[in-house]
């Protein structure tokens, strides 16, 4: 509610700008996911499932899960916060499922080809990200089922979840950016397409960081 009061007091041009950037973020995360799906052609090989599932997880599901709480351009803006929370958790579970499938695809593919596992920064960060996003989704259960949060302040749990969720999103986006430097991607696209793909991911990061940090700052002001 503090966030909404702050929005009412700021110039309208700021609100219009944030709405435009949120709508653009929806467009970019969907477009980038479709682009990777077309490029990887999932099903044509075992490896093809890795970039498809990982992009679906971190570029689409996780981005959309966070944007549900955006006061500018949320696809569930008219729904109550409780409904948004459950939809957010469902999208995060889909993110975890896709991330695990993507990880399984690349691990099994390397096993079949006799290649070593997790020898690059992309592989190591990707493994860490999959583990963290799984823990993040499990840790969110007390926010949905309040009986699990006995002895804990729900307000503090929400702040911790938002902060750790932002870190998780940055890890996922970092994995995607490192994936753009992989031999497969650089050999599949031209220079301008590579920069455009990196720009889409970078802009999504900035929008999500701004949303989470502004919401956290607003709540902190209300409590002080």
In the three-class reduction of DSSP (H, G, I as helix; E, B as strand; rest coil), residue 153 is classed as: coil
CA-CA distance, 185 to 194, in Å (whole number)?
8
CA-CA distance, 54 to 68, in Å (whole number)?
20
As a whole number of Å, the end-to-end CA separation of the chain is: 15
Residue-level pLDDT at 12: 78
In the three-class reduction of DSSP (H, G, I as helix; E, B as strand; rest coil), residue 73 is classed as: coil
Query: Where along the chain do its domains lie?
Result: 16-222
CA-CA distance, 36 to 59, in Å (whole number)?
10
Residue-level pLDDT at 2: 43
CA-CA distance, 16 to 13, in Å (whole number)?
5
CA-CA distance, 1 to 210, in Å (whole number)?
17
Q: And the tokens for 107? A: 């691990």
- For the domain made up of 16-222, the CATH class stated in words is mainly alpha
pLDDT per residue of the chain (224 residues) written in tens, 0 to 9: 445 555 555 677 877 888 899 999 999 999 999 999 999 999 999 999 999 999 999 999 999 999 999 988 888 888 998 899 999 999 999 999 999 999 999 999 999 999 999 999 999 999 999 999 999 999 999 988 888 878 788 888 888 999 999 999 999 999 999 999 999 999 999 999 999 999 999 999 999 999 998 887 666 555 54
């Amino acid at each position: 509610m503090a966030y909404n009061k702050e929005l009412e007091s700021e110039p309208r041009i700021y609100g219009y700008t944030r709405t435009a950037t949120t709508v653009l973020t929806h467009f970019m995360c969907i477009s980038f996911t479709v682009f990777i799906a077309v490029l990887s052609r999932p099903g044509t090989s075992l490896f093809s499932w890795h970039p498809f599932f990982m992009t679906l997880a971190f570029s689409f599901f996780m981005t959309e899960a966070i944007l549900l709480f955006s006061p500018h351009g949320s696809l569930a803006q008219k729904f109550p916060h409780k409904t948004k929370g459950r939809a957010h958790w469902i999208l995060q579970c889909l993110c975890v499922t896709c991330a695990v499938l993507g990880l399984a695809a690349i691990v099994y593919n390397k096993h079949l080809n006799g290649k070593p596992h997790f020898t690059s920064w992309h592989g190591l960060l990707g493994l860490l990200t999959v583990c963290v996003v799984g823990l993040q989704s499990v840790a969110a259960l007390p926010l949905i089922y309040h009986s699990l949060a006995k002895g804990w302040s729900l307000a503090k749990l929400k702040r911790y979840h938002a902060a750790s969720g932002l870190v998780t999103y940055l890890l996922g986006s970092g994995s995607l950016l490192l994936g753009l430097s992989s031999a497969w991607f650089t050999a599949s696209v031209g220079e301008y397409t590579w920069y455009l793909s990196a720009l889409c991911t970078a802009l999504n990061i900035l929008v999500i960081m701004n949303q989470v940090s502004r919401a956290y700052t607003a709540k902190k002001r209300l409590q002080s």
